[in-house]
Amino acid sequence: MILAIQGILTGMVVGSLCGLFGMGGGSVLVPAIAHVFGLPVKEAIGTSLVIIVFTSLASLINYLRSNCVNTKLAFLIIPFGIAGAQSGVFLTSRLPDNLVKYIFILVIASLGIKMLFHPDNSADQGTEKENHNKIKAVVIGTFAGFVSGLCGVGGAVLIIPLFFIFLRIPMHACIGTALIVIFFNALSGGAGYVIRGLVNFKIAGLLAIGSMAAAPLGSRISINTPKERLKRIFAVILILSGLSMLL
pLDDT tens per residue across span 44-81: 888 988 998 888 888 888 888 888 889 889 899 889 88
Contact 212, 86 (CB under 8 A): no
22-36, 49-63, 158-172, 181-195 — which is least confidently predicted?
22-36
Q: What is the mean pLDDT of residues 117-135?
A: 62
Q: Which amino acid is residue 191, in one-letter code?
A: A
Closest CA to 185 of 136, 143, 129: 143
Pick 157 or 68 by higher pLDDT.
68
d(C-alpha 226, C-alpha 230), whole Å:
6
Alpha-carbon distances, residue 144 vs 61, 232, 244 (angstroms): 22, 21, 21
d(C-alpha 28, C-alpha 177), whole Å:
20
Query: Alpha helix (H) ranges present in the chain?
Result: 2-21, 26-36, 41-65, 71-92, 97-117, 134-151, 156-162, 171-195, 201-223, 227-244
pLDDT the model gives residue 131: 63
> How many structural domains are present in the chain?
1
Residues of the chain above pLDDT 70, percent: 90
Closest CA to 30 of 139, 145, 157: 157
- In degrees to the nearest 10, what's the CA dihedral of 60, 114, 151, 89? 80
Q: Would you list the DSSP string of 75-134? A: HHHHHHHHHHHHHHHHHHTTS-HHHHHHHHHHHHHHHHHHHHHSPPP-----TT---S-H
pTM: 0.77
Secondary structure class of 210 (helix, strand, coil): helix
Q: What is the mean pLDDT of residues 137-157?
A: 77
Q: What is the mean pLDDT of residues 153-161?
A: 72
pLDDT the model gives residue 194: 92
